[in-house]
Amino acid sequence: MAQRSYVAFFLYFCTIIATHTYQMTERLIIADNQPLTALAVETICRQQQEVFGNGAQMEIVYATNKTKLGALLKEGKRSAIVIDYTLYDFVNQENLTMMCDLYRNTSTWLLLSDELTPDFLRYVLYQTSNVGVAYKDAPLSILRESLTYVMRGERYVAQHATDILLQQAAEAEHPKAELTQTEREVLKLIAQGKTTKEIAAERFSSFHTINSHRKNIFRKLNVNCAHDAMKYAIRAGLVDESEFYI
C-alpha cells in the first residue's frame, strides 16, 4: 500500500510542477536518430511556437550523439531536449540521468520513444525532476501537448507512462502467485464447490494430500477462504472464469 501511495504522490508532484509558469526555452535540441521522427518533431515544434504569443523564434538544432549533445548543453542556453533514448549512445540509464542532473537548471527533457520498460521509467522519473516521457504512437494532439510542455521548460509525463508505473506498483503489492499444475487443478475443483474429501476421491489422492494442496494455494494467494481464492484467481488470470461456479 505504501508503494502505491508513493507512486500517487509522485504523480501528484509532477502535476504541481506542471502548473508553474516557465519562460520559453532558448533552444530546442532534437536528439532522435530516426530522420522522419526528427523532421516531424521539428515541424510540430515550429507550429507550436505561436502558442507562446510573443513572436520569439526558438533555435532548433540537432545532436546525433551524446558528445554533440553535451557540447550544446555546456553552452548554458535554456534548452529543451527531445530524445529517443533507445536509439542513442548512452551507456545505460544512469549515464542518462547523470547528464540530466548535471544540466538540471538549464534543460528540460522529453524521452520520446516507441516503448520504455517499467523499471527504466521508474528509475528515470524518480531520479530526475526535469525529464518527461511521451510515446511516438500517441495521438497527434498528445504529441503536440508534450512538445509544447518541453518547449516551455515543463515536465510532461504521458498517461500511458503513469498507467505503467501504477500497474507495476500494484503488481509489487500483490505479486502474481505461481501455482503448480496440480494446484491449478485443485483450485478449479474447489471453485466448483467440491469438498476436500470429494476432490481426494476424484483425484485418487488422500485427504491429507488434497488438504496440503489447499493450504499451499491459500498461502500463495494470501487468502483465508475458498471464495477469496476464487476471486483472486479470476482477477489474476490464473484460471479461466468460465470454469468457476460461484
Strand, coil or helix: 183: helix
User: Higher pLDDT residue, 6 or 175?
Assistant: 175
Whole-number percent of the chain with pLDDT over 90: 54
pTM, two decimals, is: 0.67
Residue type, 99: M
Query: Considering the chain, what is the average pLDDT of its residues?
Result: 84
pLDDT at 21: 44
> Does the pLDDT value for residue 39 go beyond 60?
yes
Rounded Cα gap, residues 84 and 6, in angstroms:
27
Pair 110, 44: CB distance under 8 Å: no
User: Higher pLDDT residue, 124 or 223?
Assistant: 124
Residue identified by cell 479461466 is 240
pLDDT at 68: 97
Average pLDDT over residues 114-139: 93
Question: pLDDT tens across 179-224, in order?
Answer: 888 998 898 888 878 889 999 999 999 999 999 999 888 888 877 7
Q: How far, rounded to the nearest angstrom, does the alpha carbon of residue 183 sit from its chain's CA centroid?
A: 32
> Does the pLDDT value for residue 107 go beyond 60?
yes
Rounded Cα gap, residues 239 and 230, in angstroms:
9
**Grid cell for residue 104:** 538540471
